[in-house]
Amino acid sequence: MTTGVRRRMGVEERRQQLIGVALELFSNRSPDDVSIDEIAAAAGISRPLVYHYFPGKLSLYEAALQRAADDLAERFMEPHEGPLGARLLRVTGRFLGFVDEHGPGFSALMRGGPAVGPSSSPTTNALIDSVRQAAYEQILAHLGVTDPPARLDLVVRSWVSLAESTALIWLDGRRIPRAELERQLVHDFAALAAVSAAYDDEMAGLLGTVLADEPADGPFADLLARLAALAPRAALPS
């Protein structure tokens, strides 16, 4: 009879395993409710060994958030091909997919929620900012703009903030079907751009270029159709 020998992990491999285990636990429960003992048990090692790789819960929490932030930032990456509305719809689909899969972890990341103390650390704040900046830069890249004018900068940053706050609110009960919310976020971007275009010729030109490439069955065209259907109801009585 032979006995199996457990393979010993290298330092970096073990660190990555612990980060993955911690992220899984943080994704399903509030980080405040996850203990080092639980992380050790899930990883199949002792509590002291966790501290051998990470000096404390905060450092493990930050490492898990770093992985989550990297994953979330990647969800905004999309080939620059095809109509903008369809690209944004795919991006928002992956974004809300992450939110759906990692609800408590997403909340902790975007709110800077502490795992071990009364306030978020500089590291967690930097991670939050890095995700927002990655989303901002990706949207500008899809628009083909490297040096955005003030109104476009405002539109894109406002939309990134709106997507974040919408996702956080949606997590509380998920009362709107995810597919509908994905399309609504794309419509929100178009609406913000349209309002800005009403005040600025440069934005109007950019929006006109975007809409010229949109197909009749695209999400931007869908928004225009919905607004047109509302117009008779909004008309003032004669």
- The kind and range of the H/E element at 29 are none
pLDDT of amino acid 237: 55
Task: Tell me what the mean pLDDT of segment 189-201 comes to.
Answer: 96
| DSSP single-letter state for residue 82 | S
61-106 pLDDT, tens per residue?
888 888 888 888 888 899 999 999 999 999 999 999 999 988 877 8
pLDDT of amino acid 3: 45
d(CA 118, CA 137): 32
- The kind and range of the H/E element at 113 are none
26, 30, 83, 134 from 22: Cα distances, Å: 6, 11, 39, 24
pLDDT of amino acid 70: 87
* 8 A C-beta contact, residue 220 and residue 211: yes
pLDDT of amino acid 115: 42
Instruction: Set out the domains of the chain in order of their start, with CATH numbers.
Output: 68-230 (1.10.357.10)
Mean pLDDT of the residues in the chain: 86
Higher pLDDT, 196 or 72: 196
| Nearest alpha-carbon partner for 103 in 21, 28, 180 | 28
Task: Tell me what the mean pLDDT of segment 219-225 comes to.
Answer: 89
Which two tokens mark 176? 């709107």
53 backbone dihedrals φ, ψ, rounded to 5°: -95, -30
| DSSP single-letter state for residue 216 | T
Burial call 25-43: b when 16+ CB within 10 Å, e when fewer? bbbeeebbebebeebbebb
2-53 pLDDT, tens per residue?
444 455 778 889 999 999 898 888 877 777 788 999 999 999 999 999 999 9
DSSP symbols for 179-221: HHHHHHHHHHHHHHHHHHHTT-HHHHHHHHHHHHT--TTSHHH
pLDDT of amino acid 164: 93
